[in-house]
Amino acid sequence: GMISLLSASDPDKPPKPISGHIKSITAITFSLHGGQSEVYSSSYDGVIVRWILGTGYAGRVERNDSTQIKCLTTVEGELVYYNGEHIPAGMEAEGVLYFSFLNWVL
């Protein structure tokens, strides 16, 4: 999958394509962490990629499985993603996973 970066300050500038996934990208989320702006992308290949704005590719987020990722977001210093597993009402949410930014190995 490809991501096209557009310039907000120069809308006439052609998009800059970047890649880091084998399959289609399912989600992109933004975060301010440690004073730097970061972007995280996920895809059907089960990979989460970390990007640092202004620098580029910063590595893959290590996970214990390779399930497909349907959606991704950041909430209060945590990366949250969902793999599409059905979660019946009243059941534990095994398909929703959390990562602490402080514990990531890149």
Q: In what order do the strands lie in the sheet with 36-43?
A: 25-33, 36-43, 48-52, 56-60
Q: Count of domains in the chain? A: 1
Q: What is the pLDDT of residues 70-100, one digit of tens each?
A: 888 888 778 888 777 766 655 555 544 544 4
Q: What is the pLDDT of residues 9-28, one digit of tens each?
A: 998 999 888 788 888 888 99
Taking residues 41-63, report their average pLDDT.
87
The verdict on residue 89 lying in a domain is yes
Q: How many CB atoms lie within 10 A of CB 56?
A: 11
Q: Is the pTM of this model over 0.85?
A: no
Domain that holds residue 67: 21-103
The verdict on residue 13 lying in a domain is no
Are 80 and 97 in contact by the 8 Å Cβ rule? The answer is yes
The verdict on residue 16 lying in a domain is no
The verdict on residue 14 lying in a domain is no
Contact partners, residue 86, CB within 8 Å, separation at least 6: 95
The verdict on residue 73 lying in a domain is yes
